[in-house]
């Protein structure tokens, strides 16, 4: 196979951080549970995408990560699968609140993330719900009460539900800011900061973004601790 160096060069993977683990260039190298690998195989995926190959080992070490990669590069499973592994270790009671919180800019994207979580998390018996605006709160509150491992939410609706005191985030230990650049463009920074205040500081934080402007750098510096930065294809360097 390819040497590590040529794998990174070929896929334009650049990393910044101490003792960064090598990318997992094949599914076999991941050590994921067999049922999950079967799911991946059934989906027709032949190899991890570069962002997955490099973010999986970092995320599974429990480290904070900033991943910069363009749309369509497979970022969702880049954070979801390590999230499934994280859940397995926690054994939290979902009725006491979610363990994983994913913030996403739009209803459409949040729904796609939930679909991916349900599809690939089925074998791990993961439960997931989606909170977004422009829809009645009733069913969303019901899902929260029933208990879920993963909440995927737009910042506006999650804030509303927090203000109603209908969700608690004290069990969240894996926080994902997906499409961070878009969330900031849409003006969600105040809501994001309010939400993060309710998440314990003992947590793992993962930020995924397509671009890396100074507003995103600023919020990354405030919310992440000693992150490893992964940049694919010199995306917006
Ligand atoms: P991004 O968040 O970077 O825009 P997505 O996570 O939405 O990208 O993934 C884009 C598409 O690629 C999805 O349809 C997803 O199911 C698919 N995909 C994810 N991982 C792989 C893989 N390893 N091989 C092939 N396709 C993949
Ligand atoms: Mg995405």
Per-run averaged pLDDT (10 residues), the chain, 237 residues: 83 94 95 95 96 97 97 96 96 95 98 97 93 97 97 98 97 98 98 98 97 96 98 73
Tell me which ligand sits closest to the C-alpha of residue 49: 1
Q: Is 74 in the pocket of ligand 1 (CB under 6 A)?
A: yes
Note if the pTM is more than 0.95.
yes
d(CA 127, CA 122): 8
d(CA 47, CA 40): 9
Residue 155 has a pLDDT of 98
Residue 35 three-state SS: helix
Q: Calculate how far, in angstroms, residue 72's C-alpha sits from the geometric centre of ligand 1.
A: 6
Neighbours of 15 (CB within 10 A): 17
Give the ipTM: 0.99
Q: Calculate how far, in angstroms, residue 135's C-alpha sits from the geometric centre of ligand 1.
A: 27
DSSP-derived pairing of the beta strands 128-131 and 174-177: unpaired
Q: Are 103 and 136 in contact (CB under 8 A)?
A: no
Residue 164 to residues 106, 175, 217, Cα–Cα distance (Å): 21, 21, 31
Residue 236 has a pLDDT of 54
Q: Is 86 in the pocket of ligand 1 (CB under 6 A)?
A: no
Residue 237 has a pLDDT of 53
DSSP 17: S
Q: Calculate how far, in angstroms, residue 57's C-alpha sits from the geometric centre of ligand 1.
A: 18
Neighbours of 29 (CB within 10 A): 16
Q: Calculate how far, in angstroms, residue 20's C-alpha sits from the geometric centre of ligand 2.
A: 23
Residue 4 has a pLDDT of 83
Query: Which two tokens mark 201?
Result: 């500081």
Beta strands in the chain, from DSSP E residues, in sequence order: 13-16, 65-68, 100-103, 128-131, 150-153, 174-177, 204-209, 228-232
Residue 2 has a pLDDT of 66
Q: Are 144 and 166 in contact (CB under 8 A)?
A: yes
Q: Is 209 in the pocket of ligand 1 (CB under 6 A)?
A: no
Output the CA torsion sign for 154, 169, 20, 22.
negative
Which of 103, 89, 91, 38 has its CA nearest to residue 59? 89
């Amino acid at each position: 196979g390819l040497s590590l160096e040529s794998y990174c060069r070929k896929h334009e993977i650049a990393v910044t951080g101490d003792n960064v683990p090598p990318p997992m260039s094949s599914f076999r190298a991941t050590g994921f549970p067999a049922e999950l690998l079967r799911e991946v195989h059934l989906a027709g995926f032949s190899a991890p995408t570069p962002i997955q190959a490099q973010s999986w080992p970092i995320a599974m070490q429990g480290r904070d990560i900033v991943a910069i990669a363009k749309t369509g590069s497979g970022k969702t499973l880049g954070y979801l699968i390590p999230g499934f592994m994280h859940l397995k270790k926690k054994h939290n009671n979902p009725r006491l609140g979610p363990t994983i919180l994913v913030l996403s800019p739009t209803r459409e994207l949040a729904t796609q993330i939930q679909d991916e979580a349900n599809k690939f998390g089925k074998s791990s018996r993961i439960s997931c719900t989606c909170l977004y605006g422009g829809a009645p709160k009733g069913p969303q509150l019901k899902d929260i009460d029933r208990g879920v491992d993963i909440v995927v939410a737009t910042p506006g609706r999650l804030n509303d539900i927090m203000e109603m005191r209908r969700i608690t985030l004290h069990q969240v230990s894996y926080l994902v800011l997906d499409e961070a650049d878009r969330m900031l463009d849409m003006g969600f920074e105040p809501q994001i900061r309010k939400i993060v205040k309710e998440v314990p500081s003992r947590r793992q934080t993962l930020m995924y973004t397509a671009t890396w402007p100074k507003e995103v750098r600023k919020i990354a510096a405030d919310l992440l601790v000693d992150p490893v930065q992964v940049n694919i294809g010199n995306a917006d360097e």
